[in-house]
Structure 1
Amino acid sequence: MSIVRAPRAGAPSLVGRFRSHHAVGLPKRKGFPFDLTPSRAALEAAADAMPKPLGRIGQLEVRLAERPRDVKRAQRLRYEVFYKELSAVADPLARLARRDMDAYDAVCDHLLVLDHTPRPKPAKALLGLQGFELKGLEGKGAEFARAFGEAAAPFKPKGFKKKPRVVGAYRLLRQEAADRAFGFYTSGEFAIDDLVARHRGLSFLELGRSCVEKAYRDKRTVELLWQGIWAYVQAHDVDVMIGCASLEGCDPQRLALPLSYLHHFHAAPAEWSASALPGRRTDMNLMPKEAIDLRAALKALPPLIKGYLRLGAFIGDGAVIDRQFGTTDVLIVMPRALINPRYVDYYGGDAGRRAA
């Protein structure tokens, strides 16, 4: 998931701290401390080109981000999952903003799963002070309440929050956007430039920063994310999906079973293969094929990788250890023409299975 590259001459110094290429051509807008989100105009244009929503199951819906604040909510979810729940190490800027963000956020489209279930409004931090007697301030409750703009009577919450909650997210980077900006994020770990060059004329889409809130990690949320991705692929005539997928942990020997399983049973054919960059490559062939317990290996794989494999994805050559995120990354390559027809039928050839 991480990318570490030597700074280019003249690149903004703050961008050097990101796990990405440098922000060449990044739009300059007001923000904190500078805005790592797409412009409102870009987000609206992307969302207007797609159905609204892209899919719905009960109170959950999937759609593209339409406002910079939508992207910031996705960044906050990523921060909660990657840095607070898992073992990623946040830098000072991310800790201050409490958002996982990098320069790529400004040039990507952002797929969101939203929960529209009404939620009770939280009680205000400052309640009316009537009935409280503080030492030295006896009888002053009403005065303090008025000073803070509160009624003297205790606060009573009213109604429910109507703002939907972002519970899942994906980051989508089309090849034309990557070419205009600073390439694919994945190229910082794997030699995908050669892969793209071998397939000139095909359109590539990078999938990244997949993230789901813990309480929502179930079949419904995953189905909605894939419904959204499939609708996006159809709308933009994408031919190949690529991206990094992560196994938790930085010790390849402890991941020998799942890594060896991926190497022996799901390695990309030469036509679709790409290798981890020299100097970052970690061998995945850590166990002989005949020694692999298939059931145990599948159980050791993260649900996201198993989902990719069910669709028909290939795995690149070699893994990359990402110490900042505490993961071992593998390359996913998924040609659209080779996706399991069962899933094409399931989600609909026109991506309309769950669209409202």
Structure 2
Amino acid sequence: MANAALSPRRLFGRFVPQRHLPTGRINVLPGIGVPMPVGRLVGSSLDASLGRIGSLEVRLARTVGEVKRAQELRYRVFYEEMSAIADARTLMTRRDADAWDAICDHILVIDHANPEVKPFGKTRPRIVGTYRVLRQSVAERHDGFYTAGEYDLQPLIDSKPGLEFLELGRSCVLPAYRGKRTVELLWQGIWAYVLRHRIDVMIGCASLEGTDPRRLALPLSFLHHNCPAPEGWRVRALPHRFTDMNRLSREAVDARAAIQALPPLIKGYLRLGAYIGDGAVVDHQFGTTDVCIVMPVANISERYIAFYGADAGRRAS
């Protein structure tokens, strides 16, 4: 999936969820269109704000209705603005929804100064950005991570039995809000969530636009030669989805041009200390070529930890 048109200086974009269905004890709640575990949206941990800049606040979704509105925002960005191909249900509901919405937490950026007007003149704060996160402890109760549909994650997870993994996905921001404050708040929310749940490793798929790896030879080869995960952190694309990233020799890669060709998503995560997995995956539904990001929290640059605060308190409400 392609990044949601953030400028090259931004630090994050969108990870690509896969589409196998989780299992486990789940009930269907009305209005959201996907199964929802009982009690998933209930609990004091959902009530606290994770940060605020002026009228913008970052926090977790608290209700099924808020998750539904996040799905509507994702539809506007991924399907109307970008090139994702919608199935009949997605077109009918005008929501980007899948089964993982039920087991993920959803980070929201809300604009309190620009409310949405509901019928009969009622208003509600506007959701302008979203990101969903899935903890390993939750994923393992529901058939694992969705990135497993593209990459073989299990050997890495098995080799790190004392670490807690977090998967990131479905990030997007409304066009009018693609500025420093919104992106900063989304990262504030992720960092606060990482600290709250004692996350050790963040994983997910980042995307380059296009489905012809030959046209992406320069950035793919740059990542292959310069950013590979070391042996102890390496994940590999599934055999039936594996696309070789080693398309140009190291000597043939123009590093400056390659970096310019990388999406903001990937450049941002490399700045933070992320590794790149072995092999790319072509996603025809979203018109992208994906690479796997593996980012140990211990690798995150001290610069960014200092910016957001070791206790995530810089933008605390």
TM-score, normalised by the number of residues in structure 2: 0.89
Residue of structure 2 in register with 1:153 after alignment: none
- What residue identity is the alignment partner of 1:41? G
Higher strand proportion: 2
Instruction: Mark the CA change 1:353 to 1:66 in structure 2 (over 3 Å): closer, same or farther.
Output: same
- Once the two structures are TM-superposed, the CA of residue 29 in structure 1 deviates from its matched residue by 2.6
CA contact (8 A) 2:27 2:37 kept: no
- Residue 339 in structure 1 maps to residue 300 in structure 2: yes
Quote the Cα distance in structure 2 between the aligned partners of 1:296 and 1:354. 36
User: What SS does structure 2 have at the residue aligned with 1:118?
Assistant: strand
Structure 2 letter corresponding to 1:203: E
- The match for 1:267 among 228, 234, 258 is 228
Q: How many residues align?
A: 302
Distance in 2, matches of 1:183 and 1:21, equals 10
Q: Residue 321 and residue 120 in structure 1: after superposition, are their counterparts in 2 closer, same or farther (change >3 A)?
A: closer
> Is 1:42 matched with 2:3?
no
Q: Secondary structure at the match of 1:343?
A: helix
Counterpart of 2:220, as a letter, is L
1:286 CA displacement: 1.4
Does residue 225 in structure 1 map to residue 186 in structure 2?
A: yes
Q: How far, CA to CA, are the matches of 2:117 and 2:183 in structure 1?
A: 28
CA apart distance, 1:119 = 5.0
Give the conservation status (yes or no) of the 8 Å contact 2:61–2:106.
yes
Determine the C-alpha separation between the residues in 1 that align with 2:173 and 2:294. 22
Matched, 1:25 2:24: yes
- Between 1:179-188 and 1:164-173, the stretch displaced more is 164-173
C-alpha displacement of 1:39: 5.4
CA distance, structure 1, for counterparts of residue 87 and residue 206 of structure 2? 22
**Match of residue 118 from structure 1:** 114
The 5 A counterparts of 1:189-204 are: 189-204=150-165
Task: Give 1:294 deviation, angstroms.
Answer: 2.5
Name the CA distance, whole Å, in 1 between partners of 2:49 and 2:149: 33
The more displaced of 19-28 and 216-225 is: 19-28
RMSD: 2.1
Aligned 8 A contact 1:28 1:35 in 2: no
The Cα of 1:111 is off from its aligned counterpart by 0.6
Distance 1:244 1:53, change over 3 A: same
What's the counterpart of residue 197 of structure 2? 236
SS in 2 for 1:253: coil
Matches within 5 A, 1:1-150: 19-25=18-24, 27-31=26-30, 35-36=33-34, 38=36, 41-45=39-43, 48-49=44-45, 52-119=48-115, 121=117
> What is the letter of the counterpart of residue 207 of structure 1?
L
- Where do 5+ consecutive residues of structure 2 fail to align? 2-16
Residue identity matched to 1:181: H
Q: Check 1:78–1:210 CA distance in 2 against 1; reply closer, same or farther (3 A cut).
A: same
User: In the superposition, relative to structure 1, how do residues 119 and 349 fare at CA in structure 2: closer, same or farther (>3 Å)?
Assistant: closer
Describe the SS at the equivalent of 2:27: coil
Q: Are 1:321 and 2:282 an aligned pair? A: yes
CA distance 1:30–1:111, shift in 2 (3 Å): closer
Matched residues in 1 for 2:98 and 2:141: separation? 17
The CA deviation string for residues 185-241 of structure 1, in whole angstroms up to 9 with x for no partner, is 001100111110111111110011111112222222221111101100000001111
Q: CA deviation at 1:330?
A: 0.6
Which is further off, 215-224 or 184-193?
A: 215-224
Kindly indicate whether the alpha-carbon contact (under 8 Å) linking 1:248 and 1:328 is maintained by their aligned counterparts in 2: yes
CA distance in structure 2 between the aligned counterparts of 1:25 and 1:19, rounded to whole angstroms: 18
C-alpha distance in 1, partners of 2:299/2:149?
26
Deviates more, 1:185-194 or 1:54-63: 54-63
Percentage of matched positions with identical amino acids: 59
Write the letter of the residue equivalent to 2:19: S
Once the two structures are TM-superposed, the CA of residue 260 in structure 1 deviates from its matched residue by: 1.4
CA 1:202–1:248: 2 relative to 1, 3 Å = same
Give secondary structure in 1 for the equivalent of 2:48: coil
Which amino acid is 1:217 matched to?
A: R
Mapping for residues 251-266 of structure 1, pairs under 5 Å: 251-266=212-227
Query: Are the aligned partners of 1:231 and 1:351 in contact in 2 as well (CA < 8 Å)?
Result: yes
CA distance in 1 between counterparts of 2:180 and 2:256 reads 20
Give me the whole-angstrom Cα distance separating, in 1, the residues matched to 2:18 and 2:293.
19
- CA distance in 1 between partners of 2:54 and 2:209 (Å): 32
SS of structure 2 residue aligned to 1:206: strand
Deviations 1:16-53 (A, max 9, x none): xx952224225223425x742645832232xx226732
CA distance in 2, matches of 1:23, 1:305: 27
In 2: Cα distance, 1:120 partner to 1:171 partner: 22
Give the 3 Å change call, closer, same or farther, for CA 73–80 of structure 1 in structure 2: same
Residues of 1 paired with 2:251 and 2:182: CA distance?
36
SS of alignment partner, residue 240 of structure 2? coil
